[in-house]
Amino acid sequence: MKLFIDTANIEEIKDAYSLGIVSGVTTNPSIIAREGKKFEDAIAEISAIVSPETLIFGEVISLEADKMVEEGRAINKIRPNMIVKIPTCKEGLKAVSILSKEGIKTCCTLCFSAGQALLASAAGASYVAPFVGRVDDIGWTGMELIQKIADMFAIQEAPTQIVAASTRNPIHVIDLALAGADVATVPYKVLMQMIDHPLTKSGLDKFLKDYEKIPK
Ligand code: G3P
């Protein structure tokens, strides 16, 4: 399973990227708004940090298919390896099918059911983004959704990849890997929580103290 970072914060992206574990950056309008920058400026700044192979996801904000298509074409032109995020709704599916026929890579976002994921794949989406945490928030089990989509895509040999989003904690990320998600897009805070372990810290402290006792 690949790891993407779910942020537009430059310091977070720089730090996570320097670890060599992140191969994509996902944004949405809420994430961009948090940085107080224009969409194009935020994407340009992210592009300047990451390698050309790194995927960057930018989302359309229009609600009609034809406008989504226009926006999607413009987003796609910003840089190579730009993925256009489009909501999984009726107009969104229309837009995805038009853009995918033009060779533009799309991600059906705000996906909350296996049926939506199946339609996203049928429309030609390269990625589908089910929101694990938000499913948990309403008292359902987000991970069951991921498992079902992963099984369905495997049986159907669908080329669409699962970018599991709305990941809130390290357990989510581990369970996503076990459920068969292709990618987990993870907030910076969750990545750091995955790294930190009290036994690693105390073990390191002890090794360093013991090193002092070694005759030099
Ligand atoms: O990638 C989608 C994500 O940003 C949404 O996360 O925590 O607002 O549900 P959350």
Walk along the chain (216 residues) and give the pLDDT tens digit of each residue.
999 999 999 999 999 999 999 999 999 999 999 999 999 999 999 999 999 999 999 999 999 999 999 999 999 999 999 999 999 999 999 999 999 999 999 999 999 999 999 999 999 999 999 999 999 999 999 999 999 999 999 999 999 999 999 999 999 999 999 999 999 999 999 999 999 999 999 999 999 999 999 999
Tell me, what's the pLDDT at 29? 97
| Ligand 1 atom nearest to 137, measured from its CA | 9
Nearest CA to ligand 1 atom 9: 166
Residue 77 bears catalytic tag: no
Atom of ligand 1 nearest to the CA of 187: 4
The pLDDT value recorded for residue 50 is 96
Burial of 199 (0-12, 13-18, 19+ CB in 10 A): exposed
Q: What is the DSSP letter of 63?
A: S
CA–CA distance, 144 with 136 (Å, rounded to integer): 10
**Choice from 5, 7, 30, 112 to test ligand 1 binding pocket (greatest atom count within 8 A of CB):** 30
- The CATH code belonging to domain 2-213 is 3.20.20.70
pLDDT at position 193, please? 97
Smallest Cα–Cα separation from 40: which of 27, 54, 23? Answer: 27
Ligand 1 centre to CA of 134 (Å) is 8
Domain spans of the chain? 2-213
- In Å, the largest CA–CA distance within the chain is 74
> Which residue's CA is the closest to the ligand 1 atom numbered 10?
166
- According to DSSP, the residues that pair with 162 across neighbouring strands are 128
pLDDT at res. 139: 98
Q: Can you tell me the distance from the alpha carbon of 165 to that of 3, in angstroms, rounded to the nearest whole number?
A: 11
What pLDDT does 31 receive? 97
Which residues line ligand 1 at a C-beta cut-off of 6 Å?
Answer: 6, 26, 28, 31, 131, 133-134, 165-166, 168, 185
The pair of structure tokens assigned to 176 is: 């996503």
- The CA distance from 97 to 66, in Å, is 11
Both structure tokens of 65: 């298919």
pLDDT at residue number 112: 98
Question: Closest Cα partner for 26 from 165, 138, 193?
Answer: 165
DSSP label of 50: S
Nearest CA residue ID for atom 6, ligand 1: 166
Q: Which atom of ligand 1 is nearest to the CA of 31?
A: 4
Catalytic residue among 85, 189, 206, 213: 85
